[in-house]
């Protein structure tokens, strides 16, 4: 045999041994994964809690029909549930929970479990990603419930964290509902106070005007003044008639002087009463009447606004109660007794099954490559 033939046979034998070597390495890696699963992974305990945010509104018939059409969503504030889920997964709440339960120390404690533990010096972003994989909430669209799930290495810690999140979610939901109602009521109360103060101010101005000019209603004062002016005018007409008659019949009668004096007095009184009724001065009755009417109109308008604000305030209070959000705890977190993760028997069978299937696929590909070389 030539040297070239021997060398070719040697290369062919080496190439044929490559699949065997790869198979040994492959199954050694699979065995290492299984050994790690059974000996190094830390036991994890999962507890759950559930709640429901309900909106008390609508009639019973409407609620029943809505329940048939959309189960779990008719009486439940789905939007509020989503808001609660967002709050539970928020960085603010997770970081507060981290400080409260010292999560960095807990999740980084199992040093041998390098796959599932948290690095002690992990950055903020990595810690949040880690926490959200183990502390999260989800919505069950069928029942309308929101389910909180907590996964940790200690069953008591899982229960404590879930209970804390449930309480904080309840406080958050109640605070949002109360805050919206308080904002609406606060705005209306502010408007009501402004209208009440305006009514009081206008009432004081009317009282001041009445006390200053010593009357209750300027209409009455004007009517009295007009009546007095009318009487004076009638008296003047009578006196003028009598004076003309005396001058015609008895030009030298001593009554002429008295009648003329009386007529002058009547004219002066007419001038006085006329001056009271009108003129550019602010103390004239027509000016006072216009001012009084203007204040009355403003007072009536302010009173209507106050009445409307009072009715709106009461209506808003009733609606706030009718549309209140009710946080109902469906399930409190329990103390887990069994190890939830990892499920070692199931995981082992799955790893072996997938490994064997993948091995035959790789073997077929390897043989096809070797045969072509």
Residue ranges of domains in the chain = 1-41+342-373, 189-322
67-81, 133-147, 235-249, 310-324: which is most confident: 133-147
Residue 206 has pLDDT above 50, yes or no: yes
**Whole-prediction pTM:** 0.62
Choose the weakest-confidence range: 68-72, 177-181, 275-279, 357-361. Answer: 68-72
pLDDT of residue 335: 94
In DSSP terms, 55 is beta-bridged to 325
Tokens encoding 144: 């309308």
For the sheet with 45-55, list strands across it: 135-140, 145-152, 45-55, 325-331
Short-list 315, 295, 311, CA closest to 198:
295
* Integer CA distances (angstroms), 242 to 251, 259, 277, 319, in order: 12, 8, 28, 80
pLDDT tens-digit readout, 37-94: 888 888 999 999 999 987 665 444 444 444 444 444 444 456 778 888 999 999 999 9
CATH of domain 189-322: 1.10.287
Q: How many whole angstroms separate alpha carbon 341 and alpha carbon 306?
A: 65
Query: Which of 58-62, 98-102, 346-350 is predicted with the least confidence, judged by mean pLDDT?
Result: 58-62
What is the number of alpha carbons within 13 Å of residue 98 lying toward its C-beta?
Answer: 21
- In the DSSP assignment, the letter for residue 47 is E
Query: Is the model's pLDDT at 282 over the cut of 50?
Result: no
Mean pLDDT value across residues 92-109: 94
Q: Is the dihedral of CA 217, 219, 221, 223 positive or negative?
A: negative
**pLDDT band for position 322 (cuts 50, 70, 90):** low
Split at pLDDT 50, 70, 90, the class of 298 is confident
The answer to whether residue 175 scores a pLDDT higher than 70 is yes
Q: In this predicted structure, which of 92-96, 222-226, 231-235 has the lowest mean pLDDT?
A: 222-226
pLDDT score at 80: 76
H helices of 135-254, where? Answer: 155-213, 218-249
What was the pLDDT predicted at 17?
A: 67
The pLDDT of residue 62: 42
Is residue 332 a contact partner of residue 49, using CB atoms and an 8 Å limit? yes
pLDDT tier at 189 (50, 70, 90 boundaries)?
confident
Q: Specify the pLDDT at position 58.
A: 45
Percent of the chain, pLDDT > 90? 24
Q: Over range 339-351, report the average pLDDT.
A: 87
| Lowest mean pLDDT segment, chosen from 151-155, 162-166, 208-212, 222-226 | 222-226
299 Cβ contact partners less than 8 Å away, ≥ 6 residues apart = 199, 202, 203, 206
Rounded mean pLDDT of the chain?
A: 78
User: Residue 324 is encoded by which pair of tokens?
Assistant: 């209140």
Angle at 130 between CA 104 and CA 153, to 5 degrees: 60
Contact (Cβ atoms closer than 8 angstroms) between residue 295 and residue 206: yes
Q: For residue 53, list its beta bridge partners.
A: 327
């Amino acid at each position: 045999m030539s040297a070239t033939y021997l060398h070719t046979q040697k290369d062919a034998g080496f190439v044929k041994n490559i699949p065997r070597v790869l198979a040994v390495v492959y199954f050694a890696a699979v065995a290492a994964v299984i050994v790690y699963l059974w000996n190094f992974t830390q036991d994890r305990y999962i507890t759950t809690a559930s709640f429901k945010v309900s909106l008390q509104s609508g009639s019973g018939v409407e609620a029943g029909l809505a329940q048939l059409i959309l189960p779990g969503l008719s009486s439940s504030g789905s939007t509020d549930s989503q808001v609660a889920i967002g709050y539970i997964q928020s960085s603010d709440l997770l970081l507060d929970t981290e400080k409260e339960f010292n999560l960095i120390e807990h999740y980084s404690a199992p040093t041998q479990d390098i796959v599932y533990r948290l690095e002690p010096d992990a950055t903020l972003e990595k810690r949040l990603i880690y926490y959200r994989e183990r502390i999260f909430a989800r919505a069950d669209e069928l029942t309308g419930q929101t389910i909180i799930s907590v996964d940790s290495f200690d069953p008591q810690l899982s229960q404590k964290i879930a209970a804390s999140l449930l309480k904080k979610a309840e406080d958050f939901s109640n605070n949002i509902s109360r805050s919206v109602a308080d904002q609406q009521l606060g705005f209306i109360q502010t408007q009501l106070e402004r209208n009440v103060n305006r009514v009081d101010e206008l009432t004081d101005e009317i009282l001041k005007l009445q006390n200053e000019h010593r009357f209750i209603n300027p209409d009455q004062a004007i009517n009295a003044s007009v009546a007095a002016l009318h009487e004076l005018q009638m008296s003047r007409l009578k006196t003028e008639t009598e004076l003309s008659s005396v001058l015609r019949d008895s030009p030298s009668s001593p009554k002429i002087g008295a009648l003329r004096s009386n007529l002058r007095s009547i004219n002066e009184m007419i001038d006085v009463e006329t001056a009271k009724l009108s003129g550019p001065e602010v103390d004239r009755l027509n000016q006072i009447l216009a001012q009084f009417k203007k204040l009355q109109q403003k007072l009536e308008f302010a009173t209507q606004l106050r009445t409307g604000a009072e009715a709106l305030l009461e209506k808003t209070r009733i609606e706030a109660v009718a549309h209140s959000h009710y946080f109902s705890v469906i399930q409190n977190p329990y103390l887990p007794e069994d190890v939830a993760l990892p499920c070692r028997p199931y995981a082992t069978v799955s790893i072996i099954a997938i490994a064997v299937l993948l091995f035959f696929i790789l073997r077929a590909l390897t043989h096809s490559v070797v045969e072509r070389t």
